[in-house]
Amino acid sequence: MTDVPARSSPRLAIYAVGGNALSDPALKGDEARNAAEEIMGNVLEDVVDLLEAGIRVVLTHGNGPQVGELLLMEESLFDRRRVDSSNFTPQPLGLDNWVAATQGTLGHEIATNLDNILRARGRHEQVVTLLTRVEVDANDSAFSQPTKPIGPIIDDLDAVPSNWKIGVTSVDAGPRRVVASPKPISIIDSDAIETLISAGAVVLCAGGGGIPVISHKGGIEGVEAVIDKDRVSALLAVSLNADFLFISTAIDSVKLDFGGDNERSIAAMSISEASQYLEDGQFPEGSMGPKIEAMLFAKQNVSEISVSLCQPGDVIETMRGAAGTTITE
């Protein structure tokens, strides 16, 4: 007998974990590594808990801090080459390639750790990391209005290149580079994802929101952007008709008046309440705003789905209504 959920199993969870949760841009050195290890452990515990409850799992993740670091490394390399050679013509790979790279590096790390835990528990699911391409609209207004923070906190604004866009979100401890974050239209590799789920695999996909591509007469082409992982996770939940969508993040629940004297947590809010809070500016772009929009998108398109936000390690308690924030009808 196998403990892999049957292919006809009706329950499926999309579990989205933030890039900031895996690598806090405000922390450095041992403090950052220790925090990342603790969060990773909580994330994987959530995944195993879901599997042991008979629920299949698709895991997505953000990549804001990580993709920004890789982009910085590339730009530093090109700067050195320009100094060393007057004939050097830069041809940077672009953000779409670095998103693909973080899908590989983070996917490898998550899959390896999860494999080890599953083996230790005597379970037999296979963990698959799938490079995932996601289509966006070439005319999305996000290309002219960047809001997605990437990379580390900037200590010296005077040293920032003139072509960078800088922003500050309510969850960051300082300014960060921001890039375009167009909304996902379709997940190009969704058929492959569904096939892997049907085979009983735990699927890691759409890492960093997916590799952003646009469609044209000649086919598809990568673009300079980072798609919000919560929005693509909601799209994935809808396309797969999932039973659960968990937005796992660094805070334990949705907050009203976040950071103010009257800050308070919300255990549940209806679609209309969440929409009104969003309209009132309670959930700013670049931080909680896309998460709430993603949760609303999923709930409005699949009314039966359970949609919640929680911190890593709280997924079972959130299913019970004892933690996190859930969107209701």
In what helix (H) or strand (E) does residue 244 lie, and over which residues does it extend?
strand 244-248
pLDDT value of residue 170: 56
Give 262-308 as a DSSP string. T-EEESEEEHHHHHHHHHTTSS-TTTHHHHHHHHHHHHHH-TT-EEE
List the domain boundaries for the chain: 12-137+187-328
Instruction: Take residue 55 and report the two structure tokens written for it.
Output: 């629920």
The domain 12-137+187-328: what is its CATH number? 3.40.1160.10
Q: Looking at 183, 255, 291, 299, which residue is catalytic?
A: 291
pLDDT value of residue 2: 46
Active site residue 241: no
pLDDT value of residue 28: 66
Active site residue 165: no
66: number of Cβ within 10 Å:
24
Q: Crossing angle, helix 271-279 and helix 288-301, to 10 degrees?
A: 150
Could you report the per-residue pLDDT of 201-253, keeping only the tens digit for each? 999 999 999 999 999 888 999 999 999 999 999 999 999 999 999 999 888 99
Q: Looking at 20, 68, 151, 313, which residue is catalytic?
A: 20
Could you report the per-residue pLDDT of 166-197, keeping only the tens digit for each? 887 655 567 887 889 999 999 999 999 999 99
pLDDT value of residue 131: 96
pLDDT value of residue 7: 44
Alpha helices in 87-131 (DSSP H): 95-120
Closest listed residue to residue 74, CA positions, set 241, 224, 268:
224
Q: What is the pTM of this model?
A: 0.87
Show the low-confidence residues of the chain (pLDDT under 50).
Answer: 1-2, 5-7
CA distances for 152 relative to 72, 162, 178, 249, angstroms: 10, 17, 11, 18
Integer Cα distance of 127 and 40 in angstroms: 16
Active site residue 255: no
Active site residue 148: yes
Integer Cα distance of 102 and 133 in angstroms: 13
Q: Looking at 207, 210, 229, 313, which residue is catalytic?
A: 229
pLDDT value of residue 153: 81
Q: What are phi and psi of 268, to 5 degrees?
A: -155, 145
pLDDT value of residue 25: 55
Instruction: Take residue 140 and report the two structure tokens written for it.
Output: 């999305």
CA distances for 13 relative to 61, 85, 172, 185, angstroms: 14, 52, 29, 21
Q: Looking at 42, 68, 148, 313, which residue is catalytic?
A: 148
pLDDT value of residue 177: 79
pLDDT value of residue 67: 81
